[in-house]
């Protein structure tokens, strides 16, 4: 049985992986945790490294030495951090709508949009506005450009064809991680796992099973 961690994006919840879990083939044990510091009602600060440490702790909890990581958006950043710092513990890595060094102009624009969004609207998505903005600010500080070569996991990079803000980052991830494969999903935007679940599953499950 292979341990698989599904890491949600910013503005998503663990339930965002429903379309993947229902299509999961046999042989996998999937967990979809809240990223540490993003769960409503918890007194925890978010950091990419702190969330990655929390994900790596799943190894001890489940008594295994390796696992596969699938992350989207913020979850992809957390998965990448874990794969960089503990390469021996990550066998397969799927990075969807991920970033290497988020453009500051894009992050400022995103923060402005979400800061103007009513808290009730975010709450209806299962997200606390204050935590959301703090996580966005923390994510804006990452820069993995010099460390991509440290990833040893078999890696699949996914991006939606309409996700203009992340197309360049996807190419950088695929070029910088040894042996990584890039797939652009037509007709999809940023939240590929929700917007194009069938295409997402058709690429991810065979990759993880190999």
- Confidence band, pLDDT 50/70/90 cuts, at residue 119: confident
pTM of the predicted model, to two decimals? 0.90
| Res 110: pLDDT | 72
pLDDT digits (tens, 9 = 90+) for 149-166: 999 999 999 999 999 889
Q: Three-state SS for 1?
A: coil
**What φ, ψ does residue 90 adopt, rounded to 5°?**
-120, 115
Q: What DSSP string describes 34-53?
A: PPTT-STT------HHHHHH
- Cβ contacts of 77 within 8 Å, gap of 6 or more: 48, 71, 98, 99, 139, 142
């Amino acid at each position: 049985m292979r341990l698989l961690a599904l890491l949600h994006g910013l503005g998503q919840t663990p339930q965002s992986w429903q379309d993947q879990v229902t299509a999961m083939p046999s042989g996998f044990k999937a967990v979809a945790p809240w990223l540490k510091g993003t769960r409503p009602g918890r007194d925890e600060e978010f950091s990419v490294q702190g969330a990655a440490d929390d994900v790596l702790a799943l190894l001890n909890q489940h008594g295994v030495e390796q696992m596969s990581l699938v992350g989207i958006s913020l979850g992809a950043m957390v998965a990448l951090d874990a794969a960089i710092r503990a390469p021996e513990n990550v066998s397969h890595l799927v990075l969807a709508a991920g970033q290497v060094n988020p453009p500051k102009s894009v992050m400022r624009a995103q923060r402005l949009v979400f800061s103007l969004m009513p808290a009730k609207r975010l709450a209806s998505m299962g997200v606390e506005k204050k935590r959301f903005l703090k996580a966005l600010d923390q994510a804006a500080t990452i820069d993995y450009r010099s460390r991509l070569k440290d990833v040893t996991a078999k890696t699949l990079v996914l991006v939606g064809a309409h996700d203009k803000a992340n197309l360049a980052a996807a190419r950088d991830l695929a070029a910088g991680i040894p042996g990584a494969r890039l797939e652009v999903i037509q007709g999809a935007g940023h939240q590929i796992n929700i917007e194009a679940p069938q295409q997402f599953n058709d690429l991810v499950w065979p990759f993880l099973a190999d």
